[in-house]
Amino acid sequence: MLSRLKFILPLMAAGALLAAPTASAVPAEPAAATAPQLETIIKPKASTADHSKFKELNRNFQTGPQVTEACLICHTEAAKQVQHTKHWTWESTDPKTGQVRGKKNIINNYCTSPVSNEKDCMACHAGYGWKDDKFDFKVEKNVDCLICHDQTGTYRKLPGDAGHPVYKRVEFPKGSGKFVEPADLKKVAQSIGMPTRSNCGSCHFFGAGGNGAKHGDLDASLQHPGKYLDVHMDEKGLNFTCTTCHATSSHEVSGSRYNVAAAVKGPAHIRGKQDESPAACQSCHSDKPHHEAMLNQHTEKLACQTCHIPEYARNEIGTEASWDWSQATIMGADGKPMVSKDSAGRRKFDSKKGTWVWDSYVIPEYRWYNGVSTYKVIGDKIDPSKTVQINEVGGAPGDADSRIWPTKVHRGKQPYDKVNNYLTVQHTAGEDHTALWHNYDWQKAIGAGMKAAKLPYSGEYGFVDTEMTWPITHMVAPKHDALACEQCHSKSGRLQGIEGVYLPSRDSNKWLDMIGWTLVMLSLIGILIHGGLRIYTGKNKGQHK
Amino acid sequence: MNAVNRRIYLYNRYERFWHWSQALLVILMMITGFEVHGSYKLLGFGNAVNLHTVAAWTLLTLWAFTIFWQFTTDEWKQYIPSLKKVDAMVRYYAYGIFLNAPNPFHKTAAKKHNPLQRLAYLALLSMVSPVIWGSGLFYLFYSSWKSLGIDAWLSLEAVAFVHTAGAFMMLVFFIAHVYLTTTGHTPTAHIKTMVTGWEEVD
Ligand code: HEM
């Protein structure tokens, strides 16, 4: 008997042990399955060309276009390549819907539209001289090579110069007492290198005109990030640059919110493979990156980002949650324009622009998303009785190409044409008498903006609530900071409003629960009565005949 | 409690081991299962899932041995139902027990369970267990549904429904079962028997 037991016990234990690894749902220790480890990441190597040794660049350049002409002597195809990209055209055609979007064509709920404001906005155009609708997109010397390739960190483009860098010492912002020095274009040209985080960040960290304002997952803290903020860009760790993921060929940068690879399937990519979406997590990690089947199975419903970016704007820089343009043109008590900041020093009110609400460590809003967004482009009709969606994110529960994505939803209140029912283009920036930021007159600003956009304006404007939805994909947290199971698997978890999935712990059949617990209660009451009666009749004390 | 008492050896070592380890596992499965279900928070969802799954595999292993044991020892015959004396048992539990009437059933090594017990255990074996196991195995292999083509005709919601229904049945059985163990000649007599194997009979 004893020997039989001895035999059985270990077998049972073995059975349980064998079973355990198939069962575990909580990540086992080292979970980075397919991504290359630290030691194997190749540090950026020095280029084979030292640009300071080229006689073509050993000149005192007066302007940006002069530098570009010098670049093109050797890089004969570079400008043509750039001219095919969004960085140049500010236009993007959706491969699925055919809709033509891009900064040039949409109206967002931050600065709204560059149209009629080109002189300011084009500080972030990879070109020189786009100041109105007469800009010639074929002139090669107007491609700005330096904004992406400068390695001195001295090359700056300011609003007002239509994309030209600072050529003369200038006070910026005006009246601030701070001055920006012109860059030595010769030094800049001789410093040339591959784009670093600062190059990309000089525009992309400051979208909507403020550090972190627009994206929420992109801000200047990514210049020197620690591991907590970004496990890939961690300066002391993997130290990725933007282009490590946004792999680029022929100046075409991969990965774009206009065309998101929302549900990449299959194994990690290898060198030589045709790569459709190198910027997606799966291109290094595959769609089965965990040791546990149960976790891998989650990738059929969830984007990686959903668990691995538990919060965005994870710093004091924060990001804008809302922008209310209807408050613009309100003056201070003295009748003069005024500005104010919130307790963290972030813009809160500006008579030119309205009010903002900022947020840090933001919990994303989750949406089914298939990577296709349909935008409101200039002239699209709106229904002002509802919150206007600047972009409708496509996708549906159960759709094979949709995943649950984390998003930043930016809420706005912005002008629209009350008769024609479309969002308006307004002339905000500039020194002329119609510019909102100069004369604080909405009527004139909208009139001028609509004229530039070649759109009829009824003369009646109002303000409408808008929402813009941004998929969150940067600031990937270290694995220990990823969401824990119960943050979604619970009654009031992150995915509360997400339909189309049965989520154990969140979902259950109300009827079954009611009937089940009623039966349980009834049996408990039954034994209480039965047991009570037994005690009461006092005849169950062990004595028997 | 006097000299007329006889002791019989009712449950051998394996039987007791099997009973108590099954009891432990089922309690664990109920605690973790209803947490997974969302009825309360105790261990955390992830831990509950892991424990529930390990317990499921352990129970499966235990059952494999126990089924083997039942058939090699002929003990399975203990579950053959008989309707004889069922009415007497019902009457006993319904009022005889309060009147200090004698238990109409006398345990022997060949007949360990009273007729009502036999019916209850048979119901557990033939209804509750298949419901829980069938649905539990589907649940367990959810990550393979796609490759097996199961996702085309089965939803997790349905599996969870059936499994939870089984869990409620198990819980009700458990409550009644634990209560009935107190109906021996002392409240703990049946439990002692299952621990030592020895039953005092008159
Ligand atoms: C006394 C026995 C058991 C009880 C009381 C029980 C109870 C439960 C309950 C209430 C749930 C939650 C269902 C939901 O709301 O989604 C659950 C989940 C589950 N049960 Fe059971 N169960 C038992 C036995 C088993 C067995 C034998 C298996 C496997 C063969 C199993 C596998 C599972 C699985 C896989 C889940 C889903 C949780 C997960 O993801 O691992 N259960 N159980």
List the single residue in B with minimal CA-CA distance to A296: B143
DSSP lists the bridge partners of residue A377 as: A106
Task: Name the minimum distance, in Å, from the CA of B75 to any CA of chain A.
Answer: 16
At B96 the pLDDT is 86
Domain count for chain B, please give it.
1
Instruction: Say if B47 falls within a structural domain.
Output: yes
Mean pLDDT of B35-55: 97
Instruction: Say if B35 falls within a structural domain.
Output: yes
Closest CA to A213 of A436, A369, A412, A415: A412
B126 touches chain A (CB under 8 A): no
A509 touches chain B (CB under 8 A): yes
Closest CA to A307 of A66, A74, A477: A477
Contact between chains at A300 and B146 (C-beta distance less than 8 A): yes
Q: How far is the CA of A6 from the centre of ligand 1 (A)?
A: 29
Neighbours of A77 (CB within 10 A): 10
Mean pLDDT of B41-68: 96
In this structure, what token pair is assigned to residue A442?
């909405």
CA dist list (Å): B86 to A180, A353, B93, B101: 98, 85, 11, 16
Q: How far is the CA of A72 from the centre of ligand 1 (A)?
A: 67
Residues with Cβ within 8 Å of residue B179, at least 6 apart in sequence: A527, A530, A531
Residue A18 CA from chain centroid, whole number: 42
Contact between chains at A12 and B46 (C-beta distance less than 8 A): no
Instruction: Say if B195 falls within a structural domain.
Output: yes
Chain B environment of A26 (Cβ under 8 Å)? 46-47, 50
In which domain, by residue range, is B95 found? 6-201
Rounded CA-CA distance A347/A355 in Å is 8
At A35 the pLDDT is 54
List the single residue in A with minimal CA-CA distance to B34: A505
Rounded CA-CA distance B146/A174 in Å is 62
- Report the number of secondary-structure helices (H) and strands (E) in chain A: 15, 17
Band (pLDDT 50/70/90 cuts) for residue B200 is confident
What kind and span of H or E run contains A5?
Answer: helix A2-23
Closest CA to A446 of A456, B25, A356, B16: A456
In this structure, what token pair is assigned to residue A459?
């003369």
Please compute, for residue A430, the number of CA atoms within 13 A of its CA located in the half-sphere on the CB side: 22
Residues shown for chain A: 545
A18 touches chain B (CB under 8 A): yes
CA dist list (Å): A536 to A100, A524, A531, B62: 84, 18, 8, 41
Q: What is the best residue among A26, A503, A508 to mutate for testing ligand 1's pocket, by most ligand atoms within 8 Å of CB?
A: A508
Instruction: Say if B28 falls within a structural domain.
Output: yes
Closest CA to B57 of B136, B128, B130, B166: B136
A484 touches chain B (CB under 8 A): yes
Which stretch, A262-266, A399-403, B10-14, B115-119, has highest mean pLDDT? A399-403
Contact between chains at A1 and B12 (C-beta distance less than 8 A): yes
User: Which pTM was predicted?
Assistant: 0.89
Least confident of A39-48, B27-36, B128-137, B179-188: A39-48
Instruction: Say if B113 falls within a structural domain.
Output: yes
Instruction: Say if B167 falls within a structural domain.
Output: yes
Residue nearest to atom 3 of ligand 1 (CA): B29
pLDDT at B142 over 70: yes
Mean pLDDT of B4-22: 88
pLDDT at B186 over 90: no
Taking only residues 343 to 402 of chain A, the set having a beta carbon closer than 8 angstroms to any beta carbon of chain B reads: none
Question: Which alpha helices (H) appear in B3-44, and where do they start and end?
Answer: 13-37
List the single residue in B with minimal CA-CA distance to A535: B98
Instruction: Say if B1 falls within a structural domain.
Output: no
Rounded CA-CA distance B155/B142 in Å is 10
Give the domain CATH number at B20: 1.20.950
Band (pLDDT 50/70/90 cuts) for residue B104 is confident
Closest CA to A472 of A387, A389, A409: A409
Residue type, A409: V
At A540 the pLDDT is 46
Taking only residues 7 to 66 of chain B, the set having a beta carbon closer than 8 angstroms to any beta carbon of chain A reads: 12-14, 17, 21, 35-38, 41, 44-47, 49-50, 53-54, 56-58, 60-62, 65
Instruction: Say if B64 falls within a structural domain.
Output: yes
Judged by phi (left if over 0) then psi (alpha if -120 to 50, else beta), residue A272 lies in left
* Tens place of pLDDT per residue across chain A (545 aa): 444 444 455 455 545 544 444 444 444 444 444 555 444 444 455 788 999 999 999 999 999 999 999 999 999 999 999 999 999 999 999 999 999 999 999 999 999 999 999 999 999 999 999 999 999 999 999 999 999 999 999 999 999 999 999 999 999 988 899 999 999 999 999 999 999 999 999 999 999 999 999 999 999 999 999 999 999 999 999 999 999 999 999 999 999 998 899 999 888 888 777 777 889 999 999 999 999 999 999 999 999 999 999 999 999 999 999 999 999 999 999 999 999 999 999 999 999 999 999 999 999 999 999 999 999 999 999 999 999 999 999 999 989 999 999 999 999 999 999 999 999 999 999 989 999 999 999 999 999 999 999 999 999 999 999 999 999 999 999 999 999 999 999 999 999 999 999 999 999 999 999 999 999 999 999 999 999 999 888 754 544 43
B99 against A200, higher pLDDT: A200
> A430, A438 in Cβ contact below 8 A?
yes
Rounded CA-CA distance A314/A498 in Å is 24
At A65 the pLDDT is 98
Residues with Cβ within 8 Å of residue A170, at least 6 apart in sequence: A158, A179, A180
Instruction: Annotate B48-84 with b (16+ C-beta within 10 A) or e (fewer).
Output: bbbbbbbbbbbbbbbbebbeebbeeeeeeebbeeeee
In this structure, what token pair is assigned to residue A288?
């089965």
A20 touches chain B (CB under 8 A): yes
> A204, A170 in Cβ contact below 8 A?
no
